[in-house]
């Protein structure tokens, strides 16, 4: 806390500062555990109110330290500063920010210390923004005030792979919005995709920096075409995946749409999708991947649909990790998927599902094999020499 306050105090010498903080390490997990000790299925409105307190502790403590350092600081919750959201609890999106209120407060204070991850809906209830909510809050406030945004984390910036998994990973001094958006969607932990999408939409320059090396420049995320920078950018790993299959549904129009709509109604996003046809029985099986966090909800939705769709059963594979290669124009370079699949095969890695686009190729592998797969891909594409 005191170290962070030092960074903030130094920044205040150059101008007015808005600081967005998250809860202290382990606080949110503790609060979720506490809630589930009281109720196996907590009411989401009450859960949001509980979870929002973690960030409130952080802003109050940081403001106390800054005040003792002679910095005119004021702590504000998301509702107090005017972050207005949808009414969807636990995963709300920001719809508006009270810019005039922010600017008027900055006239009286050097630093506004804002609680990330939270806002208020039209009914006056506290809402939370879901995973990566503090990053999203920071970028939204930067967009509303026309400021740049520095994200301080525990690594030096964005690398060609997670340096904790791939020791030869190289720091990228600059990446485009598109590159880092794919990296974050595919499991890179530095930034949440919602925050990157906001930055791209409002042309906010982002810089990812190390909290404990504040003099390092880190990685700049700004506009530009991916191909200007490099053809292959990085390897991303997401171990929080699960595959779900609904077996033997009728081969007729509208089935996939009905499944997708039922999941969307519960705010469940699906990722990689595969449909297999069994001509001998005239039925299909649909397999798709979801984030581990929503696996139980996904199973519940599909079990409710099973009888209506005349499906045989719902099958789950929790031993899944997604390993992805991020680049530019991959569909126009057939040698790249060939090299990718061959390198994994030579390394004894079995691929369960494959998905590709112009900017990424993703493979589902066993969770225990994810780190080995990332090392193999990083070496096969010589990403340790990317500049």
Residues 182, 185, 186, 189, CA torsion sign: positive
pLDDT at 226: 46
pLDDT above 60: residue 275: yes
78-82, 223-227, 254-258, 261-265: which is most confident: 78-82
pLDDT at 278: 62
pLDDT above 50: residue 198: yes
pLDDT above 50: residue 354: yes
pLDDT above 90: residue 286: no
Residues 23, 158, 220, 4, CA torsion sign: positive
Cα angle for residues 311, 312, 318 (degrees, 5° grid): 100
Res. 229 pLDDT band, cuts 50 70 90? very low
* pLDDT, mean of residues 94-117: 96
Least confidently predicted of 54-58, 62-66, 205-209, 222-226 = 222-226
Res. 227 pLDDT band, cuts 50 70 90? very low
pLDDT at 228: 44
pLDDT above 60: residue 215: yes
Q: What is the DSSP letter of 301?
A: H
- The 10 Å CB-count burial string (b at 16+, else e) for 129-163 is bbebbbbbbbbbbbbbeebebbbbbebbbbbbbbe
261's CB contacts (< 8 A; 6+ apart) are none
Res. 310 pLDDT band, cuts 50 70 90? confident
pLDDT at 279: 59
Cβ contact 247:255 at 8 Å: no
pLDDT at 81: 96
Pairing of strands 206-210, 149-153: parallel
Question: Phi and psi (nearest 5°) for 63?
Answer: -65, -35
**Between 187 and 237, the higher pLDDT residue:** 237
Res. 187 pLDDT band, cuts 50 70 90? low
pLDDT at 110: 96
pTM higher than 0.85, yes or no?
no
pLDDT at 121: 96
CA distance 387 to 384: 9
Could you write out the DSSP letters of every residue in 144-159? HHT--EEEEESSSSEE
């Amino acid at each position: 806390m005191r170290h962070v306050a030092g960074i903030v105090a130094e920044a205040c010498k150059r101008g007015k500062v808005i600081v967005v903080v998250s809860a202290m390490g382990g606080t949110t997990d503790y609060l979720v555990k506490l809630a589930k000790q009281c109720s196996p299925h907590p009411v989401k409105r009450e859960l949001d109110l509980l979870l929002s307190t973690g960030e409130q502790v952080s802003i109050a403590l940081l403001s106390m330290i800054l005040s003792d350092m002679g910095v005119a600081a004021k702590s504000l919750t998301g509702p107090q500063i005017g972050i207005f959201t949808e009414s969807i609890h636990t995963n709300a999106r920001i719809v508006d920010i009270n810019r005039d209120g922010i600017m008027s407060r900055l006239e009286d204070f050097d630093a506004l210390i804002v609680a990330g991850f939270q806002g208020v809906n039209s009914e006056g209830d506290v809402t939370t923004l879901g995973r990566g909510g503090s990053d999203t809050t920071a970028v939204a406030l930067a967009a509303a005030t026309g400021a740049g945004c520095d994200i301080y984390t525990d690594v030096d910036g964005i690398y060609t792979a997670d340096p904790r998994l791939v020791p030869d990973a190289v720091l990228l001094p600059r990446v485009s919005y598109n590159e880092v958006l794919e990296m974050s969607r595919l499991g890179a932990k530095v930034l949440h995709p919602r925050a990157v999408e906001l930055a791209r939409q409002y042309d906010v320059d982002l810089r990812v920096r190390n909290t404990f090396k504040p003099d390092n420049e880190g990685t700049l995320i700004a506009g530009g075409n991916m191909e200007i920078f490099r053809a292959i950018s990085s390897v991303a790993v997401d171990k929080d995946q699960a595959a779900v299959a609904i077996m033997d549904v009728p081969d007729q129009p509208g089935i996939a749409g009905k499944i997708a709509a039922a999941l969307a109604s519960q705010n469940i996003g699906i990722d990689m999708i595969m449909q297999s046809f069994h001509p001998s029985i005239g039925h299909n099986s649909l397999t798709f991947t979801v984030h581990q966090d929503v696996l139980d909800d996904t199973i519940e939705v599909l079990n409710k649909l099973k009888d209506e769709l005349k499906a045989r059963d719902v099958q789950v594979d929790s031993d899944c990790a997604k390993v992805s290669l991020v680049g530019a124009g991959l569909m126009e370079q057939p040698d790249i998927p060939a090299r990718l699949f061959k390198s994994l095969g030579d390394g004894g890695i079995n691929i369960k599902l494959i998905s590709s686009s112009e900017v990424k190729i993703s493979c589902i592998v066993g969770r225990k094999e994810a780190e080995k797969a990332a090392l193999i891909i990083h070496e096969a594409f010589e990403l340790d020499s990317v500049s």
